[in-house]
Structure 1
Amino acid sequence: MTESGHGVDEPARGRRRLRRPGLSIQSKLLIMLLGVSLVASVVVGAIGFINGRQSLHAASVDQLITIRSMRAAELTDAVHTMRLDASLHSRNLSAQTLSTQLNAAFDDLQQREITEEQQEQLETYYADTFIPELEARSDDEFGSEAFIPQSNAGRYLQLQYTVKNQDFDADYDALLTDNDSGDGSTYAAAADRYGDYFTRLIQQAGYEDALLLNLDGDVVFSAYKGVDLGTNVNTGPYRDTSFAETYREVIATNSVDSVGMTDFERWIPSMDVPAIWVVSPVGNDSRITGAIAFQVPLSRINDVMTGGEGWKGQGLGDTGEVYLVGRDDLMRSTSRILVEHPDTYADRLVSVGIAKDTAERIVDVGGTVLLQPVNTKAVAEAQAGRSGTIEGRDYIGGESVTAYAPLDIEGLDWVIIARIDTSEAFAPVADFTRTVLLSLLGILLAVSVLSLVLAQVFTRPIHRLVSAVHRVAEGDLDVQVPHGSRDEFGDLGSAFNDMASSLRIKQDLIDEQQKENEKLLHTLMPESVATRYKQGDEAITEAHENVSVVFAELVGFDELARDLSGEEEIGLLNSLMRGFDEAAEKAGVEKVRTLRGGYLASSGLVVPRVDNIRRSVEFARGLVGVIERFNAQNGAQLALRAGVDTGTVTSGLVARTSLAYDLWGDAVNLAYRVRSVTGEPGIYVSQAVRDRTSEIITYVQAGTVESDGRTETVWKVA
């Protein structure tokens, strides 16, 4: 075909146009390529966008659920520890002795006469010192006479101890250790002698206060010596509190094993600060003499919920938090937003309809417990006993992703809420969306340009053939070019196709051989080591942590093989090793190498496993079963000595020319050594393995071995 500019006249050009009306082949091809490519790009991009967005969305929600579950477990453990502490301390001999002696001393003090001057001193303390301080901190009004104990003993104790606390910001430790009033009474002597027990409990266990009550409800001792000392929780000003109700419930059980726990309630002796009480009867299995009560500070719960205010480092970002809500829809832990943004917190509460005085009170006291209402759908769902996630308005008026669940803690009707601002939770989704859109635009532009170039190339046979040759050079042996034309280009296309087919067949043969080589290589060593070996590394080692090692040794095989031919011996040994391999695969452990009389395996080396220790012990037990079946089938009397240890090991090629893959390290050495601690068949484990599996496997102590200059206790599977 002759183009314009090469001597073609106008009539010829006109005739060509008549013969070829409409779009040119190049134009049609361009439109077709553009249409298919653009539609495919849009469809693939849309599918990737939808799947990616859903995956990122689910990952953000799953992370919040995980954090909520972790906090719930930590809180449950903390509460269990508090109850256990109370139960243990109530049985302590010091507590029993102090209870008995102070009960008697308290009864003796009932005979003390309280003079009018002393009564006036007590009234003055409440009117001029305690009540003004209480009203300033609680923002309520109180009458002074209601707090004065009714009993002579109670009033006397407050005169000797409580009225000394004129400054409520005084040295707390001094109040705890001031147990001897100096009046020479039997009470002062007993308090001075045994009160140190309470002091150490407060200082070491972190309680706010500790009370000792007799069976009549009298508070006969207080570590802090506050206004609750000497009062009666059955008839006095605190008779309607949850603390008093819990005291009566545990005393009614008449059992020292009983433990009661209150929800948060405002405790007036602590200046109306919310507190939790754990109460347990004091005594022994034969009788009880009263009750011991520990005041759990608000900070104890907050530390668990906030992780020591380390929200960001624990996956909650800049806005996430976990908090508690009671049945009354009030918080039982402190809000992160209040901690980090106290200056704007009150305004934000007012903007969502919270009363201004409540909002200001929250900011003044620096806490949200029993003050901050949370009337969200998430709280309602959790209080109904359901767990889940929700997106919507939070207690401060923002949009949040929330994971909620009820808490299964005896005596506490709480729910746990984990939330994070929606914008932060789904920030990866927004970033992904922007990236996908920009990438799709780039792909569309690239496809358009490529389609134009290909349309021009494929309209010229020579360019088409050159392009095909280039593709073969790049490794694409499936390329074929049309050769329908009966000219030199057709012959060349046919010859090219024959060449490409021949190359493809040869490449397939090479690929098959390479696959066989890869398969053989992977039977000798892990994939990571095989990859480095193929890259030419001379010295290949890898360090692994938290790996369990099993070193198993056959006992009696030499005696069995003594009268066998070489073929029979190999046959029996192969039968055993196949059984060992099957046991390894079943237990999920990796075979390292096989010896004539032994077997070395590991768990957690190639595939990290959190239960690698359990798998290793189960594998060793499986080997015993393999040998028992072998003995039954062959009339043999083989046995097994196996050693199991866990720790850090090193693996690698110890001799490049022979491709010997091996495993060594402290865990391998100790596994080898513990197997022969007694010389008797059995499964022997190190102390570390026993500690991690003692709840599911029974062990007996088998002896000791020396390891790295220290004595290692060896245990045998029972």
Structure 2
Amino acid sequence: MTADRPASLPAAPRRRRYGLTIQSKLLVMLLGVSLASSVIVGVIGFVNGRDSLRDDAFEQLTTIRELRTEEIEREFASIQNGVVLDSRNASAVEGATALVDAFADLQATPLEPDQDAVVEAFYEETFVPALEERSGLDYAPEAFVPASPAGRYLQYHYTAQRALDDFDAGLALTDAGDGSAWSAANAEYGPYFTGLVDALGYEDVLITDREGNVVYSAYKSVDLGVNLNEEPYASSTLATATNEVLRNGSLDEVVTTDFERYLPSLNVPTAWVASPIGSATEIVGVLAVQVPIDQINAVMTGNGRWAEQGLGETGEVYLAGSDLLMRSTSRLLAENPESYVDTVVANGTPRAVAERIAEVNGTVQLQPVDFPSTRAAVAGETGTALTADYTDSSSLVAYAPLDIDGLSWVIVAHMDADEAFAPVADFTRNIVISTLAILLAVSVLSLLLAQVFTRPVKKLVDAVRRVAGGDLAVAVPQGSRDEFGDLGAAFNDMAASLRVKQELIDEQRVENAKLLHTLMPETMAARYREGEETIAEEHENVSVVYAELIGFDAHAEKLNGQEEITELNLLMRGFDDAAVSCGVEKVRTLRGGYLASSGLIVPRVDNVRRAVDFARQMREVVARFNAQTGASIELRAGVDTGTVTSGLVARTSLAYDLWGDAVNLAHRVRSVTGEPGVYVSQSVRDRLADTVPFSEVGSVELHGVRQPVWRVG
């Protein structure tokens, strides 16, 4: 019994091995070297990449700061040079002289009491209430009424009788019709000065005489006719600038002022560029141009295209003065005014100041920027820093002083650190993920390499099991050049041979299925494949079309065999297409005819109408065929509806056919007259009498009963 069952013998005991196996040693070595190298490379790449990205962020911000610096310095230089040139223009000199002289003449022209009352009412009821609402302070109206008769005169005729904010009307007013020399001078020379406002975008153009009287204002505003050396203007930067220009006595002199809250502009921050007007022998006054703050903001904001110019979602460039207050608009205020107060308050701005900024919708001389970077720039330093700013506690900042004559301004470009260093964060995350992925890949690869000696056998066993299970697409690798490689090659050859044979069998099965489907309906083909030999099915309410070609044989006598087959196929394809279009099923095709049904395979309520429509379309197909080939073929078609039987005929030569009374009657009615056309039985005519015209053409006998035959009109 032992000899018959050797498998039952106990296996020889394996000798115990101590220490690591070769597979384990190989795994440890591969893991140790690979993991160590991956970590070292990852750390080096992380440090170098992080530093490079941080440097790039600082460099980009510095570049933007430099570009803005050049633009703003060029903008102020252009304004200063323009004011110097405009003040030397002959029209400016002549106009200023005429206006100064005319103003002096008006000193002897006091207003009537009722006219004086109009001026005083303007300040009491219009200007001062508007100023107090804008500034939040209280003012005495009488402090603003010009002290001189000339000033009162001009304000009565040009200022007090129009709306305070109607600047266009003031700019267009050239002659009040008072007949004064000043109005004549304004009518003659005013267009030159107002043209500077229109062409160069100045906020306003003023002319003062040597005593500080404002003898001209392009907008004819509240400052027209006042004396800058008297209160409440004596301590203004405009008064200081005009006095400095006159004191130096040079026509080349130009003085630029910092922003100051200018009372005639309703306490809005205003900056001026002033230059003397006169000739080489005499200075008659000063031309003072109000710096257009919109142009400054346009330069600093890049016309509002921060993101497009590399500043992302939080970056901006702004100006600040030596008082550590902003001199340009804030991006945050421009883009998100609703969140401005909470944001800047959270970063150190007093709430009252923030609310005031939101109320006046302006940050100039309001928003404090007292931060290390701004203080360093005010001290004349240029550099970059990671420090706090007014919108974020951690910002990337590039700062520098500006070189603008007369101004101690600095420029600061900043961006929230989270956004500026987003590439660094992305890079860090990618490095960590990549390193972890490499470590995982190395671990898996080491494990795979350690198992390389047992894998070929395992793969071959697995492949054999899959073939046994019917998967003939399996193949084993043939990388090794040993016995395992030879065994794998032999196995692959065997599997390939089996696969080719299976594919041939599958292809033949598909071809057989296609052939069956061309011969019979799918349901009958399924029964035939299951082994049934005698198959017949009875169908009720089926319409049958039996069509016969007339004259095709005579036409075919003119053709050779290939041409005959080609044209016959052309006709039959046309019939097939018509069958598909009408929802009719083809039963079989004869050389000179066509048998089809409607409602056989797919039951249809309107099978009678479809059958008649198909017969009509067959005649249209024949007509098109005749037009294409020059033939004279006709078609007779018979249509009946009723019960039919379908099934397989014969055993050695398999054929699918249709028979029954409906087929027989359809065959017979087609030949009642012998003429081409579509002929139908009485049952078809009864079903379609209301929709299709019919004419009776004869009768046929079926089961001893004669039935009329109708022709479709």
TM-score (norm 1): 0.61
What is the CA-CA distance between 1:60 and the residue it aligns to? 1.0
Partner of 2:170: 175
Match of 1:582 in 2: none
After TM superposition, list the pairs within 5 Å mapping 1:43-54 onto structure 2: 43-54=40-51
| Equivalent of 1:241 in 236, 239, 244 | 236
Q: In angstroms, what is the RMSD of aligned CA positions?
A: 2.4
Q: 1:351 to 1:441 in 2, by over 3 A?
A: closer
User: What whole-Å deviation, never above 9, does each CA across 1:486-531 have from its counterpart, x for those lacking one?
Assistant: xx99xxxxxxxxxxxxxxxxxxxxxxxxxxxxxxxxxxxxxxxxxx
On the 8 A contact 2:275/2:288 being kept in 1, the answer is yes
Taking structure 1 as reference, are residues 8 and 200 closer, same or farther at Cα in structure 2, changes over 3 Å only? farther
Letter aligned with residue 282 of structure 1: I
Do the aligned residues in 2 keep the contact of 1:217 with 1:233 (CA within 8 Å)?
Answer: yes
Return the letter of the residue paired with 1:286.
T
Mapped partners of 1:232, 1:253: distance in 2: 20
Cα distance in structure 2, aligned partners of 1:303 and 1:87 = 23
Offset of 1:207 from its aligned partner? 0.7
Q: Which residue of 2 aligns with 1:320?
A: 315
Q: What is the identity, as a one-letter code, of the residue corresponding to 1:65?
A: T
- 1:433 Cα deviation from its structure 2 partner: 1.3
Residue 264 of structure 1: which of 259, 268, 276 is its match?
259
Q: Name the structure 2 match of 1:413.
A: 408
1:339 maps to which residue?
334
2:58 partner letter: V
Question: How far is 1:348 from its partner?
Answer: 2.9
Deviations, residues 320-343 of structure 1 (Å, cap 9, x unaligned): 111111111111011111111111
Cα distance between partner residues in 2 of 1:6 and 1:87: 116
| 1:328 partner letter | D
- Secondary structure of 2:14's counterpart equals helix
Other-structure match for 2:104:
107
Cα deviation for residue 370 of structure 1 reads 0.9
Is residue 153 of structure 1 aligned with residue 153 of structure 2?
no
Deviation at 1:159, TM superposition (A): 1.3
Counterpart of 2:164 in structure 1: which amino acid? Answer: F
For 1:460 and 1:98, locate their aligned partners in 2 and report how far apart those are by CA, in whole Å: 103
Pairing partner for 1:355 from 329, 332, 350: 350
- Between the aligned partners of 2:201 and 2:9, the Cα distance in structure 1 is 104
Cα gap change, 1:436/1:7 in structure 2, threshold over 3 Å: closer, same or farther? Answer: farther
Give 1:116 deviation, angstroms: 2.8
* Match runs of 1:15-94 below 5 Å: 17=16, 21-94=18-91
Question: In the alignment, is the contact (CA less than 8 A) between 1:149 and 1:236 conserved in 2?
Answer: no
Aligned residue for 2:325, secondary structure, equals: coil
Which digits, 9 at most, give the CA deviation of each residue in 1:419-472, with x for residues without a partner?
Answer: 11111111111111111111111111111122223334489999xxxxxxxxxx
Aligned counterpart, 1:219: 214
Identity among equivalent positions (%) equals: 52
Q: Which residue is equivalent to 1:13?
A: 14
Question: Which residue of structure 2 aligns with residue 380 of structure 1?
Answer: 375
Matched to 1:13, the amino acid is: R
Paired residue type of 1:120: A
- For residues 180-225 of structure 1, give each alpha carbon's deviation from its aligned partner in whole angstroms, at most 9, with x where no partner exists: 1211111111110110001111111101110011111111111010
Q: State how far apart, in whole Å, the 1-side matches of 2:263 and 2:187 are.
A: 26
Amino acid at match of 1:234: N
Matches within 5 A, 1:414-493: 414-457=409-452
Structure 2 counterpart of 1:29, one-letter code: L
Query: Aligned partner of 1:268: which letter?
Result: L
1:162 is aligned to 2:159: yes
Q: Does structure 2 retain, via aligned residues, the 8 Å contact 1:254–1:287? A: no
| Residue number among 265, 277, 298 corresponding to 2:272 in the alignment | 277
Residues 53, 215 of structure 1: alpha-carbon distance in 2 compared, 3 angstrom cutoff: same
Cross-structure match for 2:125: 128
1:404 offset after TM fit, Å? 1.2
- Structure 2 residue matching 1:403: 3-state secondary structure: strand
Residues 47-89 of structure 1: per-residue CA shift (max 9 Å, x gap): 1111111111111111111111111111000000010110000
CA contact (8 A) 1:150 1:236 kept: no
Tell me the residue number matched to 1:210.
205
Shift, 1:11, TM fit:
6.0
SS of the equivalent of 1:44 reads helix
Which residue in the other structure is 1:308 paired with? 303
Amino acid at match of 1:413: S
Report the counterpart of residue 497 of structure 1 in structure 2. Answer: none
**Cα deviation digits, residues 599-629 of structure 1 (max 9, x gap):** xxxxxxxxxxxxxxxxxxxxxxxxxxxxxxx
Alignment-mate amino acid for residue 27 of structure 1:
S
Structure-2 residue corresponding to 1:232? 227
- After superposition, where does 1:570-581 map in structure 2 within 5 Å? none
Counterpart contact for 1:26–1:459, Cα < 8 Å: no
Compare CA radii of gyration and give the structure with the larger one.
Answer: 2
Shift of 1:350: 3.5
Would you say the 8 A contact 2:347–2:393 is kept in 1? no
Output one character per residue of 1:642-668: Cα deviation in whole Å (capped at 9) or x when no partner: xxxxxxxxxxxxxxxxxxxxxxxxxxx
SS at match of 1:105: helix
Aligned equivalents of 2:217, 2:197: Cα separation in 1: 11
Read off the aligned partner of 2:48 and give its amino acid letter: N
State the SS of the aligned residue for 1:164. Answer: coil
- For 2:179, the aligned partner's letter is G
Deviation, structure 1 residue 163: 0.7
Residue 35 of structure 1 aligns with an amino acid whose one-letter code is G
Measure the CA separation in 2 of the matches of 1:187 and 1:77.
Answer: 37
Per the alignment, in what secondary structure is the counterpart of residue 163 of structure 1?
coil
Unpaired runs of at least 5, structure 1: 463-487, 490-718
Partner Cα separation in structure 1 for residue 382 and residue 79 of structure 2: 26
The CA distance in 1 between the partners of 2:53 and 2:129, in whole Å, is 56
Distance 1:87 1:458 in 2: 92
